[in-house]
Amino acid sequence: MVKAALAQFSEQIAGGFVRNRPTPQVGVELLSGLTVALALVPEAVAFAFVAGVEPLVGLYAAFIVGLITALFGGRPGMISGATGALAVVMVSLVAQHGVEYLFATVVLMGVLQLIAGAMRWGKFIRLVPHPVMLGFVNGLAIVIFLAQLGHFQVPGSGEAAGHGVAGGDWLTGTPLWIMLGLTGLTMLVIHFGRYVTTAVPGPLLGILVTAAIVIGLGLDTPLVGDLASIEGGLPPFHLPQVPLTMETLRIILPYAVILAAIGLIESLLTLNLVGEMTGQRGGASRECLAQGAANTVTGFFGGMGGCAMIGQSMINVRSGGRTRLAGTAAALFLLAFILFASGLIERIPLAALVGVMFMVVIGTFAWNSLRIVRRMPRMDVAVMILVTVVTVVTDLATAVVVGVIVSALAYAWGNATRISATTYRTPEGARVYRVVGPLFFGSSDGFAELFDVDGDPSLVIVDFEASRVVDQSALQAIEAVAARYEAAGKVLQLRHLSRDCHALLRRAGHLVVHEDDDPDYGLAVDYGVRTGILAGGH
């Protein structure tokens, strides 16, 4: 199965870029990629600071991960790079063991993601309920908003950190008003720019207009260069300088597992979100493989690893990026900035990029969730709010896992309360219990309470036509009821067991199926002789 998956992935790599060859809107795709690249610079630098590594480590990760996933990922239009959710996990690893162990961890993280893709585990993302998705995007919008507040601090006194801002001195007086005014100007240009021209994406137009005003008027406002210098060379090949021992594996494996899980969850949720916006379908398993390949390569070239970036993906989609060209161009533009244009990029005002991200916040937040909240089931509303809060307090991946678990428990509880039975007498005097609802661990106690052993006749029939036996707890509940009827000297007969129920009973040693004229039902000969249970058709 792994070999077949890898072979399919190789075919997709060979034909992926050809099938997604740029349309006549090449200019739009390239400009969209340029806009994304400009937005990637401060994000990559800030997340590198969060992880405790050099800015180029974050920039190299944004370039390599962005390029590989753009070419071979599961859905065109997605943007990947260094992210805050991964950076906050890396902090303790770098602080305790150094950056070389981080590179080794990123390589192992990529290998684990390749395994997940080859095993097609990406399909399990479909188990994420819609309320969790709503909470996810709402929490994400808040996280992006909070992350931008760090740019309203005096440069050098506090950096944007993951979900919020670190301690630092806030801008006051004229610098604050200039920052707010330029941010608002950028947002206005983005909003109304489409009425002036459609040749240039709104976010890029906003950055250009604001940068021109700042440079032309010589305004004193924070610039990209105030974060750090982005000048550098090509990412060099670098084997992680760590001892190849079990002790090293013991150190890096827990971090690699957590990073791989967080990266895949964020990437697959972004895959779904971009798909809803563009109307495209993409392969979850292919995205897992692309993310794994990207992180494996990044670890060998001095990068901090990464995953899909929802904010930058939204910028790309809203700027018109629909093919692999936009994401590829973004990565190559970013490399060009590092190699040739660092001085120019460092003069871009941070207010312009903050304005772009604020527009992303407005576009990302699911405003319709506020309108339909009164019509949603209370549990769905609770799950949506819970995921939003956990996203802001911890990280996106944790929030999604919590939301899925709570939704699953709520579903299990709802089904547990659905177990019921209607009864009637047959002409022969037997009493029939027609069970309605699934029989599983949550409803097994309720199932046992349905029967009146003392008041029932000598023959009792349990009809499962409207029910289903799901797990071992259900089998134990049936056995307990059978034991009660046996102790009372009565016979219990089971009817309309489905084939999967037969399989469960057979594996548990409770049912021996013999061929007969009725292909749908079996006869519990051995177990029936011992306990008085018979399983058969009408």
CA angle 255–37–301, rounded 5-degree value: 40
Low-confidence ranges of the chain (pLDDT < 70): 1-24, 155-168, 282, 498-538
Contact (Cβ atoms closer than 8 angstroms) between residue 59 and residue 48: yes
Q: What is the pLDDT of residue 256?
A: 95
Domain boundaries for CATH 3.30.750.24 within the chain: 417-535
Which residue's entry shows tokens 């990412």?
Answer: 235
Burial (CB < 10 A; 0-12, 13-18, 19+), residue 17, is middle
Cβ atoms < 10 Å from Cβ of 381: 18
User: CB neighbours of 308 closer than 8 A, spacing ≥ 6?
Assistant: 69, 78, 79, 80, 83, 266, 267, 270, 271, 287, 291
Contact (Cβ atoms closer than 8 angstroms) between residue 158 and residue 146: no
- Residue of 12, 14, 35, 23 whose CA lies nearest to 312: 35
Q: What is the CATH number of domain 417-535?
A: 3.30.750.24
Burial (CB < 10 A; 0-12, 13-18, 19+), residue 235, is buried
Beta bridge partners of 494: 462, 535
Contact (Cβ atoms closer than 8 angstroms) between residue 136 and residue 396: yes
Report the alpha-carbon distance of residue 309 to residue 414 in Å, rounded.
36
Read off the pTM.
0.74
Contact (Cβ atoms closer than 8 angstroms) between residue 265 and residue 397: yes
- Residue of 125, 21, 110, 128 whose CA lies nearest to 69: 110
147-180 CB burial, b ≥16 within 10 A, e <16: bbebbbbebeebbbbbbebeebeebeeebeebbe
Contact (Cβ atoms closer than 8 angstroms) between residue 365 and residue 141: yes
